[in-house]
């Protein structure tokens, strides 16, 4: 019985964590939904990995702004806060940090690729060199 209660508590915690992400103003999307949203004309697609990682392959039409670089805030300040901004990294950790930073800067429509470019590749989606 205690095991079932523990499982239910863990499930409830997981569900509220997912809901919190959406209420924080960041939409976490799988590769299919992320690709669909990328098709909008006014999307600002940002790869937040290092320039070296970006050079190895990136999503089509992405720009590179390294979230761990010294100029991240200055570079993202040049983006239009009224247009959707979509971020991704290798696996999702750095893009979550970037999305939080963008939210603090006043961006209103932020999407994060769940699982990063790794999940994009796993889904067989196109990348550019």
Q: Which residues are catalytic?
A: 89
Cβ-contact 88, 115 below 8 angstroms: no
Q: Which residues contact 26 (CB under 8 A, 6 or more apart)?
A: 96, 99, 100, 103, 110, 111, 112
């Amino acid at each position: 019985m205690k095991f079932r209660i523990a499982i239910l508590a863990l499930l409830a915690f997981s569900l509220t964590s997912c809901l919190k992400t959406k209420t924080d103003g960041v939409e976490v999307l799988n590769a299919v939904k992320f690709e669909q949203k990328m098709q909008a004309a006014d999307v600002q697609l940002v790869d937040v990995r290092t320039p070296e990682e970006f050079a190895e392959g990136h999503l089509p039409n992405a720009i590179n702004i390294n979230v761990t670089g010294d100029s991240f805030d200055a570079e993202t300040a040049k983006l239009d806060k009224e247009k959707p901004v979509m971020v991704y990294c290798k696996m999702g950790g750095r893009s979550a940090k970037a999305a939080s930073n963008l939210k603090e800067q006043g961006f209103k429509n932020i999407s994060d690729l769940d699982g990063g470019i790794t999940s994009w590749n796993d889904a067989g989606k196109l990348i550019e060199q």
